[in-house]
Amino acid sequence: MQIFVGLGNPGGQYAGNRHNIGFMAVDRIAEDHGFGPWKSRFQGRVAEGRLGGEKVWLLKPDTFMNRSGQSVGEAMRFFKLEPGDVTVFHDELDLAPGKCRVKTGGGHAGHNGLRSIHGHIGEAYHRVRLGIGHPGRKELVSGYVLHNFAKADADWLEPLLTGIGNGAPDLAAGDTAKFLNAVALQVAPPRSSTSPAKTARAPEPRAAQAPAKTAGATETAEAAEEGTRSPLQRLADKFR
């Protein structure tokens, strides 16, 4: 059994925020793989289902981002799981929009949700880092992550979520390479290795031209013409 956690803030006013991309990821997994209805448990909302041969609980904490660890820790202890059975989907400022990386352990890099989870279950859990880009200056970060995605972001956000849904069974099976490949096929599909065959062009129609006359042909034509003239005409030609 595993727990896939999506990080975000509860409430409709936050639903489209960049900080809520983790919620969006587990919502897509639930939708694509026929998970059961969301229910209130563990200070959050959970949905039960299967990904391939693995039983998985999806969890969206209702504790707000900076207390996410309370919900995650409660669920993990209830099911008697280890941190290695937990995978957290979260926004990542240090990755370009649409990039996806998988990591196990390590620091929280100042992310409030991860900091809280570290405090409740330690650092030995898995993370799926979902790039949202950086606003450029530290003082702009809070407003940036709590602002909705722009309309133009749909060009990479929708393929990213589709790839996550497609690759979720591979992630549950522990095959991160196949999971990342499933995401990449949606976000940056490969171009065809062969260029389309060029259509053969018909030769340009050439203007009709009279065949060039060779010297021999000219002489033959003149001789033929001479043979058709009467003796009187040939005699008159000599005095012209």
Based on the residue annotation, tell me whether 126 is a catalytic residue of this protein.
no
- DSSP-assigned states of every residue in the chain: -EEEEE----SGGGTTBGGGHHHHHHHHHHHHTT----EEETTEEEEEEEETTEEEEEEEESS-GGGHHHHHHHHHHHTT--GGGEEEEEEETTS-TT-EEEEESS--TT-HHHHHHHHHH-S-SEEEEEE----SSGGGHHHHHTSBPPGGGHHHHHHHHHHHHHHHHHHHTT-HHHHHHHHHHHHSPPPPSSPPPPPPPPPPPPPP-PPPPPHHHHHHHHHHHHHTS-HHHHHHHHT-
Q: How many residues does the chain have?
A: 240
Query: 29 to each of 48, 160, 164, 212, 221, how far by Cα in Å?
Result: 11, 12, 7, 78, 90
Q: Which of 19, 33, 90, 126 is catalytic?
A: 19
Catalytic residue positions?
19
